Amino acid sequence: MSKSAGSANPKKAFGFYVLLLAAALALAAGIYFVAIHGTFGLDSTHNGVCYDPLVTALLIGGAVVIVGLAVLKKYGLAAAVAAAAPGVALCLFVHKCYWYVVDVFVGIDEKHGFDPRFITFAVLLGLAFVIGEVAIYVKKVRS
């Protein structure tokens, strides 16, 4: 018995797994951001606290929506969410942490440099954004 071209169970392509990876990275970044409560640097002054609940909601909520849309086989919409949610979260994070970054670059906190927690979160968020952008352009289902 052979499968017809319009079968109900199409094979997943590389893009489907890229989409899931984007969701996993967004979820990991959101959970990590909550775990450290967006606090970077040696002190807890206003310059070291970059927590914004909207960043967390975009990352964790975006990951849930991506997986939900992938389950519903709405791959194009899921890819759009995978690109937009971390992108907006990145913009909000940059806006919120501007003074922390400036303090490090100007030399106010030059002895210590960037906090490893800041670097870890920035890398997770950056990867979620880049992989989400890649997910837009790759095929999700083999024809």
Residue 94 has pLDDT above 50, yes or no: yes
**Quick check: 124 and 29 in contact, CB under 8 A?**
yes
Is 2 part of a structural domain of the chain? no
Q: What is the mean pLDDT of residues 12-19?
A: 90
- Please give the average per-residue pLDDT across 58-75, as a whole number: 95
As a whole number of angstroms, the distance between CA 120 and CA 90 comes to 14
Does 104 reside within a domain? yes
Q: What share of the chain is helix, strand, coil (3-state, %, to 5)?
A: 65, 5, 30
Cα angle at 112 between 94 and 97, to 5 degrees? 10
Whether the per-residue pLDDT at 46 is higher than 70: the answer is no
- Is the entire prediction scored with pTM above 0.75? yes
Would you say residue 130 lies in a domain? yes
Q: Which two tokens stand for residue 22?
A: 């984007």
Q: Would you say residue 73 lies in a domain? A: yes
* 94: in domain: yes
What total of structural domains would you count in the chain?
1
Q: Confidence class of residue 48 from pLDDT cuts 50, 70 and 90?
A: low
Q: Is residue 132 part of a domain?
A: yes
Q: Tell me the percentage of the chain whose pLDDT exceeds 70.
A: 84
78 belongs to a structural domain: yes
Q: How confident is the model at residue 19 (pLDDT cuts 50, 70, 90)?
A: very high
Range of the domain at 20: 14-136
CA distances to 9, 42, 85, 94 from 138, rounded to whole Å, are 19, 42, 18, 28
- 142 domain-assigned: no
Crossing angle (nearest 10°) for helices 75-96 and 14-36: 30
